Amino acid sequence: MAKIIDGKAYAEGLRGRMAKTVAGLKSKHGLTPGLAVVLVGEDPASKVYVANKAKQTVEVGMNSWEHKLDAATPEATLLALVEKLNTDPACHGILVQLPLPKHIDSDKVLSAINPDKDVDGFHVVNVGRLSTGQESLVPCTPVGSVMLAKDALGSLAGLEAVVIGRSNIVGKPVAQLLLAENCTVTIAHSKTKDLPAVVRRADLVIAAVGRAEMVKGDWLKPGACVIDVGINRIERDGKGKLVGDCDFASCEKVAGSITPVPGGVGPMTIACLLRNTVRAACAQKGIAIPEL
């Protein structure tokens, strides 16, 4: 049976290390990293995410600001707020919670964020920096996924990695990070032919598809490491349940290690957002970026 990769415990450890780093930045440099989160509208899931982000930001000793705007807020008002945060020296990270209401152009808003404060790592400048191997702010879920893979496998150099999914938020950046770790990377997607045969080549599988329990145990090379990014809500036995993109019951019999859903990649996302905020604050102040 596969070793279960405990993302919740790993994220807790990361937050603990971060709290110590933040305390050190305050005492040595008088620097308190600060994160501003902007929420437009009343999307219930987004409200929960934003509340969790704020709570964990404060718990590690950083400054947190929540800007809650009405769903009817004009695009120009949101852009003016982003500009204000761009020039606020106490604010080192800016996150505009997606999705935005339909009348607002998300790409325009994300492009307006100062790339050095773009802690989501979605700005095209950061996408370019990542793909050319420069220091950059990297999307949080991909960073968390690769941290868990390295924790399970040690060095990833030379491994065959198959990423399922090619979104800008997960698939593409995770593939770039794996390339930087010297994996041989295949990106599979909805048009890939014979996906099970492609996945069977992999020492490391990263599934970011959004299809409940799609990857089956008999698609895996025995001993493969499986990082399941998917979060899917299904009905089972008359109850709502969260499952990943991998069929956990069959995969854990073949994999060497596997992340559960929930409790795998999910908890890493906010921890990596806080890590990006610390990194952004240090870079803005000319302080060496701490290893975290």
Q: Where does this chain bind ligand NAD (CB under 6 A)? A: 141, 164-167, 169-171, 188-190, 192, 195, 208-211, 229-232, 265-266, 269
Q: Given 97, 172, 228, 245, which residue is catalytic? A: 97
Contacts of 245 (CB under 8 A, 6+ apart): 164, 207, 208, 209, 210, 211, 212, 213, 214, 215, 228, 229, 230, 232
Strand order in the sheet with 204-207: 3-4, 257-258, 225-228, 204-207, 160-164, 184-188
The CA-atom distances, in angstroms, between 93 and each of 121, 159, 165 are: 10, 34, 27
Active-site residue 105, yes or no? no
CB of residue 260 to ligand NAD, shortest distance in Å: 12
CB of residue 215 to ligand NAD, shortest distance in Å: 9
Alpha helix ranges (H) inside 31-163: 44-59, 75-86, 106-112, 124-131, 140-153
The C-alpha angle with vertex 175 and arms to 174 and 176, in degrees rounded to 5, equals: 90
Greatest alpha-carbon span in the chain: 56
**3-state SS string for 203-222:** CEEEECCCCCCCECHHHCCC
CB of residue 234 to ligand NAD, shortest distance in Å: 12
Query: What is the H or E stretch that residue 272 is in?
Result: helix 266-285
User: E strands along 157-224, which residues?
Assistant: 160-164, 184-188, 204-207
CB of residue 132 to ligand NAD, shortest distance in Å: 22
Q: Residue 171 or residue 260: which is nearer to ligand NAD going by CB?
A: 171
Q: Given 53, 56, 176, 203, which residue is catalytic? A: 53
CA distance 106 to 41: 14
Active-site residue 28, yes or no? no
Q: Given 116, 120, 228, 245, which residue is catalytic? A: 120
CB of residue 81 to ligand NAD, shortest distance in Å: 24
Q: Residue 254 or residue 265: which is nearer to ligand NAD going by CB?
A: 265
Q: Residue 33 or residue 230: which is nearer to ligand NAD going by CB?
A: 230
CA distance 27 to 184: 43
Query: Which residue is at the shortest CB distance from ligand NAD?
Result: 167
Q: Residue 46 or residue 192: which is nearer to ligand NAD going by CB?
A: 192
Q: Residue 113 or residue 174: which is nearer to ligand NAD going by CB?
A: 174
CB of residue 183 to ligand NAD, shortest distance in Å: 19
CA distance 255 to 3: 8
Q: Residue 93 or residue 171: which is nearer to ligand NAD going by CB?
A: 171
**Residues 276, 144 contacting (CB under 8 angstroms):** no
Active-site residue 55, yes or no? no
Catalytic amino acids?
A: 53, 97, 120
